[in-house]
Amino acid sequence: MTTSHGAPRRFGRLRVAGAALAALLVAGTGTATQAMASPKAPDTLPTPPVPSLAWTDCQGGYECANADVPLDYRNPTGQKITLAVIRKKAADTAKRKGTLFMQPGGPGNSGVDFVRNNYNGLPAALRESFDVFGYDVRGVGRSSALTCFDDTRYSKAVTDAKGVPGPDAFGPALTEAAEFNQACLDNAGGLLPYIGTEYVARDIDLLRQALGEEQLTYYGRSFGSYIGTVYAALFPERVRALTLDGAYDPVHYANRPYAYDRPQYLALDGAMSRFLDWCAADQAICGFGDGDPRGAFEQLKKDLDANPVTTASGGKANGYTLVYRLMFNINEGKVIWPSLGAALKKAQLRDNTSFLLRPPSPASFDFLGPNVAVECTDRDYPRDQRLLKHKVESFAAAAPLLGPAMAFGPPTYDHQHATACAQWPAERVSRYDGSYRAEGSAPILVMGTTGDPDTPYQDAVALSHRLDNASLLTFEAEGHTAFGRSACATDAVVKYLVDLTVPAHGTTCSDETQPPSSTPKVAPPGTTLGELRNGVNERVENIGSVA
């Protein structure tokens, strides 16, 4: 993605120190045997060398460096992969407590950009108490970004997709997923076995040591919560404070993927359904649907499929475009609802200035390719294609508003991974498959939002029970994650990270910003309102500005 300081969008495909990578791949694409899981216990791997960080000024008070870490932790002194890292030192040296690792969601979002985009909005107590640190994980951004489909092929895939797929959509979806997988092999085959979350967590522990920290202080949102969970499982004694916001159920995510996918479909469709119910109840503010917004939405998807809107750049926006944009922008919660109503009305009028009629862009593709590849490395999907067809079709039927377009579309975001991952052709030596108890860790803060359309609330509940020493904070709200969207939740996070004060298990925050009386022109305090801040939500991670 384009960064806030003007860095180019596309980065070098494989910036790896040492000799050329050797691909360790299972032969074939759609008919590969079961990809190999992690074959080792955490304490059986050789000790890797700690990287040396040579910091240089990179504008705005930030310092940047590169960290060489093992490509394959089974051979820690062999080939290296270079990770891009960034930090901004604590604003008050007298109050400094150490380094705060900031981990964005995804997988596929840049941790370097996450720090740059969000530092100024962090509460003062965090900026005073910590050096704020982020990095691009392996395979993402400036850290050997991987490419599967190139921009032209991805553009064709999303342009050909439908908002209302036909009854025979599964076969073409399976074929396109196999083509995506082959493109991953062709363009990034040497990297694919090593991008799983166990190796990402091991990278974090080397970076912790390189920064001179005895223990880890960490905030991870969405997929960043899974990375933090795996870190705690591998290195429980190294945990000082971990905030896991928008948490995953790690057992379902990694080992029972269909049990993870179905609630995610239902959560996304549930959020859309609640928005349409509000729209029906408050037509004056919503402005979409003429008394029947649900029926109008179903018709709009069909109309756009049949007659796509030409975009300002000459592209085509159809029903799939509409669903794709809603999937990300509905993450903003109730505060965005008037904006969604106005954008749907524009789409109904075939006005191509609607932010819901912007097809996925090359900036999106830089996020989406790694998103699929990392999850296919992490997750143990059965290879049975009859089971796959049954599951994908049942999920689409259970989530009729947005589910069909996601289920049968090309490999992009979470809901569209099964067809690719069930055929994944690469070895997965970096996948974590151990216990998630984190026995012996310091207290861990887990956060869940009751109406989260991306990471269902029950996942946060499950994680709080799976960890040996966790406290659950509930945010009663629509939208994705809690920190930065709730003064109550943000204050709890600050006290925990700074002073190690753990909120009581069962703590609930109920201070979501309600729908404004009209489409806002600026983001209200404590909200992100991505489509107004960024033009459109390209899955850029912003966490709000609650002080």
Could you report the per-residue pLDDT of 456-511, keeping only the tens digit for each?
A: 999 999 999 999 999 999 999 999 999 999 999 999 999 999 999 999 888 999 99
Confidence band, pLDDT 50/70/90 cuts, at residue 541: low
What are all long-range contacts of 63-70, with beta carbons under 8 Å and residues at least 24 apart? 63/87, 63/88, 63/89, 64/112, 67/135, 67/203, 67/206, 67/207, 67/210, 68/17, 69/138, 69/202, 69/203, 69/206, 69/207
Angle between helices 362-378 and 170-188 (to 10 degrees): 90
pLDDT at residue 235 is higher than 80: yes
Q: Name the pLDDT band for 521 (thresholds 50, 70, 90).
A: low
What mean pLDDT comes out for the span 66-89? 97
Quote the pLDDT of residue 517. Answer: 72
Residue 190 has pLDDT above 50, yes or no: yes
Instruction: State the CB neighbour count (10 A cutoff) for residue 519.
Output: 16
Distance CA 519, CA 272 (A): 18
More confident residue, 482 or 27: 482
pTM of the model: 0.90
- Band of pLDDT at residue 15, cut at 50, 70 and 90: very low
pLDDT at 1 over 90: no
pLDDT of 181 over the 70 cut? yes
Strands (DSSP E) found in 23-156: 56-57, 63-70, 80-88, 98-103, 130-135
Residues contacting residue 156 through CB under 8 Å, at least 6 positions apart: none
pLDDT at 21 over 60: no
- Long-range contacts of residues 91-95, Cβ cutoff 8 Å, at least 24 apart: 91/124, 91/127, 91/128, 92/128, 92/129, 95/128, 95/129
Dump pLDDT digits (tens) for 393-437.
999 999 999 999 999 999 999 999 999 999 999 999 999 998 999
pLDDT digits (tens, 9 = 90+) for 366-395: 999 999 999 999 999 999 999 999 999 999
Listing DSSP states for 458-491 in one string gives HHHHHHHHHSSSEEEEEEEEESS-STTT-HHHHH
The predicted model gives 129-157 an average pLDDT of: 96
Question: Is the pLDDT confidence value at 104 over 80?
Answer: yes
- According to DSSP, the residues that pair with 135 across neighbouring strands are 85
- Would you state the pLDDT for residue 46? 86
Q: What Cα–Cα distance (Å) separates residue 341 from each residue in 275, 308, 319, 479, 491?
A: 9, 20, 16, 16, 32
Residues 7 and 244: their CA atoms lie apart, in Å, by 29
Tell me how far apart the alpha carbons of residues 238 and 230 are, in angstroms, rounded to a whole number: 12
Average pLDDT score, the chain: 89
Q: What average pLDDT does this structure show over 200-204?
A: 98
Segment among 158-172, 347-361, 421-435, 513-527 with least mean pLDDT: 513-527
Does residue 518 surpass a pLDDT of 70? no
pLDDT at 17 over 60: no
**Confidence (pLDDT) at 32:** 35
- Residue 363 is predicted with a pLDDT of 85
Both tokens of 240, joined, read: 């000082």
Per-residue confidence (pLDDT) for residue 2, from 0 to 100: 31
Lowest-confidence pick of 21-30, 230-239, 443-452: 21-30
Amino acid 546: pLDDT: 43
Residue 312: per-residue pLDDT: 87
So what's the pLDDT on residue 513? Answer: 84
H or E element at residue 518: none
**Res 545: pLDDT:** 52
pLDDT mean over 505-533: 66
Mean pLDDT of 443-459: 98
Tokens coding 171: 């076969």
Please state the rounded mean pLDDT for residues 138-160. Answer: 96
Helix (H, G, I), strand (E, B) or coil at 244: strand
Q: Please tell me the predicted confidence (pLDDT) of residue 241.
A: 98
pLDDT at 6: 34
The pLDDT of residue 539 is 54
